[in-house]
Structure 1
Amino acid sequence: MLEWIRETQDVWQRLQNTQKPIVMYGMGDGAVKILQVMKRYGVAPAAMFASDGFARGNLFMGYKMEKLADIQSRYDDFLIVVAFAVHDEPTVNYLYELSQKYELVSPDVPVAGTNLFTMDFVQEHEQEFLQVESILADEQSRKVLHDIVNFKLSGKLCYLADCTTDTDEAYHNIIKPTAQESFADLGAYRGDTIAELLHYAGGCRRVFAFEPDEKTHKKLCAAVEQMGLSDCAICVQMAAYSHEEMLEFDSRAGRQSAIREESLVTGVEGAAKSKIRQVQGQSLDNIAGEESVSFINMDVEGAEKLALMGCQKIIERDKPKMLIAAYHRSEDLFALLLQIASMRSDYRFYLRHYRYVPAWDTNLYCV
């Protein structure tokens, strides 16, 4: 095992071996996924609870949703499994406070794909992790790699606390955008990341924005107009992909809408209902054509590998700065960096993690 792995068992083994009652905090798709994996390991929660404002005695997956006070009145001690994702500071701080009082884990279940981040997974990909560690450009990036791997294995929040930095640091010290960027936003949502670029760069020269969801695309176009970018922006209602192809698209989750594929959740009662429709997949290479691109932002809910294939011509030709979401699939921590390095060997690579539980908003920077 890698010398910087500090855990001797993964979170699923830990749940199997605990003598404490297991209680799950939260409900929704995250809880469905975690319950499904726990079932594989022969583990079941003794109870489930929600924040006081959401605990109304309703049933979820056959469990009555209680308040923490109800759990505390019944058990002297217990192990909490966090089953939702959160990044707002008050809630994240509350989880850290709970972790000081009780044994608490936030299991890593991938947003896309079916590979769980287990001890076996890390051992299987040890050489890739070593290769990535040797390529990363600074000590903070290596710390993020080490801490995120240990977090994904253990579910312990202390690893996230140790490697979290502020968004400003990456923009000021790594990306350093200018007002002359030709910006490609793959997974533009409602224009949030375009607005973020304008905040740090003070403007931009050109925008190529991909957003496959019809309703969200309309909001994106309105936001781009409000930002005064209508004359320099191309906003396409398409999914960033390796080539032109009609795809099945699951728009059940708003911001987490994604190309349909095999999932950890397959027909489980309690999962959010899918809204499947056809959407055009297209490559950035085809949309931008001969126009240069200086900065690519990519957050495409697990389709990053394919979207990068659709940027290969631009990457080889222009060497754009890139900000790539590296947390949707278990393999993203090593596979995306190695994929980009195979296209151009002269990139410098950085990893940063921003406040989020679980380890979402872990990003790869390429400059």
Structure 2
Amino acid sequence: MEDFFIQIVESERQNDILEELKKESLPLVIWGNGSMSYSVRKILRHYEIEPVACWVDHADITEVDGMPVMSIEEIVKKYGAVNIVFGHSRYELADAISEKEGIHKCFCLINVCYEQWKHLTYEFVLTHKEEYERTYQWLEDDLSKKCLTAFLNCKLTEDFHYILPVYQEHISYFSNPFFEITESESLVDIGAYDGDTIRDFLKVRKCYERIYAIEPERESVNRLRAYISKTKLKNIDVYPYGCWNQNTELDFCEDQESSGVGSGGETKLKVYKLDDLLKNKKVSIIKINFLTGVCETLEGASGILKEQMPKLMIMAGFDEWGLIQIPQMIKAINSHYKIAIRYAAAMPARLILFAY
């Protein structure tokens, strides 16, 4: 296993992107206005960095957070040369965009999603060396192992270029080299949001057996139900709850970026073990995309994982713990699972763990 850690960057020196942004004199523009743009605006406000505009080529709004929404041509005409901070996950475009007229520098924030803003330190990696090695050993193929190495090096240096050699643009939950999506799937979509994953699923397979959409956020549930009604989807059940390792109520905070369970939440949320919520139901795929409670959710689905061994698709790159704790939990529940990882975008937070 020595070869694995030979590949890990040992230097404590960070490319502190936010400190560099604070020193820049040119106007700063956010590229994009989706959910990740919200996360970027939040961290910039926290560090007292004020962008002057939001770059969106085709927008139906003219302002966001007090900033004008403009095309890049309009921005360059008004401000001259500008710096760009990515407000979306297409980091692989950064080098090419830097060559565009009027753009001085491009910045890609590595630690941005779910307020996971702190740096990964080499001391942490050394402290958890054996656990990372265990994950490395469990990974099924060489590219997965390269993805893990790239993840750690990217987080240690704040340089997304480590990911580019292992990123494959065609990879997604339902388009991967590890398993086929059949017409008899029963999909459990945990963190169903407004149906975005379901839409991706239906692009691959129009026919399915059942979809169980689990989403605790009230506004998202409303949009999800409206989508189901508008498209007349059949055989789909919506559960406005959370998943956990016991049936109880937890504090819940609803936020545009980082809704989740935890102390200090303004409301109470009913949470259930998936084993109980879907008792005697067929489950063939489980998708999980949130930060807090992934291992508790898996623990609450231990019966399903043991008896039915559904395919698992989990976003595991939000923080430094995901690639330690999530594989350990899966293997502890059912050691027969194979584990692999791939990037759905060229940023650490878009690292999908596949178990099959």
Name the TM-score class by shorter chain. 0.7 to 0.9
CA–CA distance in 2 between the matches of 1:278 and 1:298?
21
CA contact (8 A) 2:283 2:310 kept: yes
Change (3 A) 1:70 1:192: closer
Gaps of 5+ in 1: 39-43, 60-66, 75-79, 264-274
TM-score (norm 2): 0.77
Aligned residue in 2 for 1:319: 309
Equivalent positions of 1:240-279 (< 5 A) are 240-253=243-256, 256-261=257-262, 276-279=266-269
Change (3 A) 1:12 1:124: farther
Partner SS state of residue 352, structure 1? strand
Aligned AA (2:247): E
Change (3 A) 1:105 1:182: closer
Change (3 A) 1:218 1:13: closer
Partner SS state of residue 269, structure 2? strand
1:359 aligns with 2:345: no
Aligned residue in 1 for 2:197: 193
CA–CA distance in 2 between the matches of 1:109 and 1:139?
28
Aligned residue in 2 for 1:287: 277
Equivalent positions of 1:158-237 (< 5 A) are 158-165=161-168, 166-167=170-171, 171-230=175-234, 232-237=235-240
Partner SS state of residue 2, structure 1? helix
The alignment covers a number of residue pairs equal to 330
Aligned AA (1:205): E
CA contact (8 A) 1:207 1:233 kept: yes
Gaps of 5+ in 2: 31-36, 57-61, 68-74
Aligned residue in 2 for 1:63: none
CA contact (8 A) 1:180 1:204 kept: yes
- Identical counterparts, % of pairs: 19
Partner SS state of residue 355, structure 1? coil
Partner SS state of residue 175, structure 2? helix
CA–CA distance in 2 between the matches of 1:69 and 1:128?
52
CA–CA distance in 2 between the matches of 1:222 and 1:14?
40
Deviations 1:80-132 (A, max 9, x none): 794x6413x5x862465339965855232452668642222222221111111
Change (3 A) 1:281 1:114: farther
CA–CA distance in 1 between the matches of 2:301 and 2:313?
13
CA contact (8 A) 2:111 2:117 kept: no
TM-score (norm 1): 0.75
Aligned AA (1:118): T
Deviations 1:248-288 (A, max 9, x none): 222220xx34224479xxxxxxxxxxx83222212211111
CA–CA distance in 2 between the matches of 1:2 and 1:14?
25
Aligned residue in 2 for 1:2: 5
Counterpart of 1:308 (choices 298, 319, 325) is 298
CA–CA distance in 2 between the matches of 1:214 and 1:228?
21
CA contact (8 A) 2:15 2:158 kept: no
Counterpart of 2:338 (choices 324, 348, 356) is 348
1:123 aligns with 2:133: no
Greater relative contact order, per chain length (Cα 8 Å cut-off, separation 6+): 1
